[in-house]
């Protein structure tokens, strides 16, 4: 195409056929008329189709769009709550904040925690079963403390225990009827008058003083009897006077001490022969020794002077202490189809019954008797039985459980 040539699209092109006013060429119109005539009756059966112009269809579509948008705007306006003006907002109460404040406050509060369930208090059986190692410290500390007391007393006095006249020699004057005499005042009076050591004890029956006993290893017997007759206004028929030489008293003490040692040796031999096991037999002997040592230390703390009657009390205590230990060891070593702890508890029921029955009899005798000899024997037995409960069930029983767990792998 040359530059500057202008094409006029309004002018009909020479190669196209001429159109009528309706925009249809003559050939096409003739062909449509011929086909319409040939169709005949079939064309009349179809419904009449209205020719809708393109402009009318466009206007109808635009109107539908406007109606749809108006309907959507009306629906959105109905769904949206009506907003009030500033004046109405100021006068109307703010229910939203009223409801939100408790919620905010509730958020700050911590949720209540449920209280933890209280643990049940431990029973004596549970403590004895699960804390037996700690319970073993009780008899050990008591044994060490008793040895310390005996050692301190020996360092101060040169004796293991204070001895009575019957063991060291001297004079003993017993008055049977002296209910109104103050024994403490009389003791101080005798010591100041004779410038010597003297001990005065009361004879009691059911808690009531009936008489008194005067012991001295340094006062002359004749001088003492004369002073008491003048002081109390009594005659020789109202009292008894016993004199023991120092050599004889020392001999008594050595013999009594030897008797206690031999008793321990034979007791240990019998125990080893019965059980034929070194450690359980040693535990039995250890419990008996602990009973003697604790009772000995207690007598020192109480200021009791040991007499020949006291030696007899210690010999009896050996038998009282060994029987519960033998019972316990037999039940544990010869148990069948039960645990060591159950065997220990079964032996404890029997052993405590025996011990408490013996203590009841000893307490009654201690209250009722008026004899100084029986009083000291019963006192030694009572202290020894209390120590035996500790040494048998907190020492021997625990050591047996540890031994059985290590050697036989049972508990």
User: Which architecture, in CATH terms, is 134-159+249-407?
Assistant: Up-down Bundle (1.20)
Is the CB of residue 201 less than 8 Å from the CB of residue 253? no
Question: Please, what is the Cα angle at 395 between 121 and 144, to 5 degrees?
Answer: 110
Report the pLDDT averaged over residues 267-275: 86
Report the pLDDT averaged over residues 376-392: 94
Helix, strand and coil content of the chain, in percent to the nearest 5, comes to 65, 5, 25
Find the range with the poorest average confidence among 81-85, 144-148, 164-168. 81-85
DSSP 84-133: P-HHHHHHS--HHHHHHHHHHHHHHSPPPPPPPPPPPPPPHHHHHHH-HH
Find the range with the poorest average confidence among 26-35, 48-57, 198-207, 370-379. 48-57
Q: What is the pTM of this model?
A: 0.65
| 3-class secondary structure, 214 | strand
pLDDT digits 0-9 by tens, 187-210: 888 888 888 888 888 777 666 777
Q: How far is CA 130 from CA 124, 244, 357, 394, in A?
A: 10, 56, 29, 13
Is the CB of residue 215 less than 8 Å from the CB of residue 199? yes
Domains 134-159+249-407 and 170-244 share a fold: no
**pLDDT over 50 (residue 407):** yes
Phi-psi category of residue 235: left, alpha or beta, with phi > 0 → left and psi -120 to 50 → alpha: beta
Is the CB of residue 404 less than 8 Å from the CB of residue 335? no
The per-residue pLDDT for 17 is: 54
- Nearest Cα to Cα of residue 164 among 238, 256, 290, 227: 256
Chosen CATH of 170-244 out of 3.30.1490.20, 3.30.710.10, 3.20.20.70, 3.30.70.250 = 3.30.70.250
Q: b vs e for 102-122, b when ≥16 Cβ sit within 10 Å of the residue's Cβ?
A: eeeeeeeeeeeeeeeeeeeee
Distance (Å, whole) CA 171 – CA 217 = 6
**pLDDT over 60 (residue 386):** yes
Distance (Å, whole) CA 296 – CA 209 = 27
The per-residue pLDDT for 49 is: 43
Task: Give the domain ranges of the chain.
Answer: 134-159+249-407, 170-244
More confident residue, 302 or 79: 302
The pair of three-digit structure tokens given for residue 40, joined into one six-digit string: 């005949």
Phi then psi for residue 234, to 5 deg, are -120, 170
């Amino acid at each position: 195409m040359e530059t500057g040539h202008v094409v006029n699209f309004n002018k009909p092109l020479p190669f196209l056929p001429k159109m009528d006013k309706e925009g249809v060429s003559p050939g096409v119109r003739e062909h449509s008329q011929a086909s319409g005539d040939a169709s005949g009756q079939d064309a009349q059966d179809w419904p009449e189709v209205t020719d809708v112009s393109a402009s009318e269809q466009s206007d109808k579509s635009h109107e539908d769009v406007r109606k749809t948008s108006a309907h959507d705007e009306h629906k959105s306006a109905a769904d949206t709550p009506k907003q009030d003006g500033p004046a109405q907002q100021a006068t109307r109460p703010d229910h939203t904040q009223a409801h939100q404040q408790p919620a905010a406050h509730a958020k700050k509060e911590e949720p209540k925690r449920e209280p933890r369930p209280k643990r049940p208090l431990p029973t004596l059986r549970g403590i004895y079963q699960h804390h037996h190692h700690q319970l073993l410290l009780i008899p050990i500390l008591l044994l060490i403390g008793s040895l310390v007391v005996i050692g301190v007393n020996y360092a101060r006095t040169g004796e293991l225990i204070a001895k009575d006249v019957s063991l060291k020699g001297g004079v003993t004057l017993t008055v049977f009827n002296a209910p109104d005499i103050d024994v403490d005042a009389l003791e101080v009076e005798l010591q100041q008058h004779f410038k010597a050591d003297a001990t005065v004890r009361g004879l009691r029956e059911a808690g009531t003083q009936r008489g008194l006993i005067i012991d001295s290893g340094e006062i002359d017997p004749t001088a003492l009897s004369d002073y008491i007759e003048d002081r109390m206004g009594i005659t020789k028929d109202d009292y008894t006077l016993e004199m023991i030489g120092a050599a004889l008293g020392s001999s008594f003490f050595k013999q009594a001490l030897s008797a206690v040692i031999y008793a321990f040796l034979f007791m240990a031999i019998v125990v080893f022969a019965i059980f034929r096991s070194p450690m359980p037999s040693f535990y039995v002997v250890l419990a008996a020794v602990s009973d003697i040592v604790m009772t000995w230390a207690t007598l020192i703390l109480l200021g009791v002077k040991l007499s020949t009657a006291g030696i007899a009390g210690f010999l009896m205590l050996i038998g009282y202490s060994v029987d519960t230990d033998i019972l316990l060891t037999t039940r544990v070593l010869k148990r069948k189809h039960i645990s060591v702890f159950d065997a220990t508890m079964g032996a404890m029921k029997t052993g405590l019954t025996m011990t408490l029955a013996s203590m009841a009899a000893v307490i009654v005798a201690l209250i009722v008797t008026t004899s100084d000899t029986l009083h000291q024997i019963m006192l030694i037995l009572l202290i020894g039985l209390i120590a035996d409960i500790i040494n048998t069930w907190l020492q021997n029983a625990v050591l047996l459980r540890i031994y059985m767990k290590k050697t036989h792998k049972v508990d």
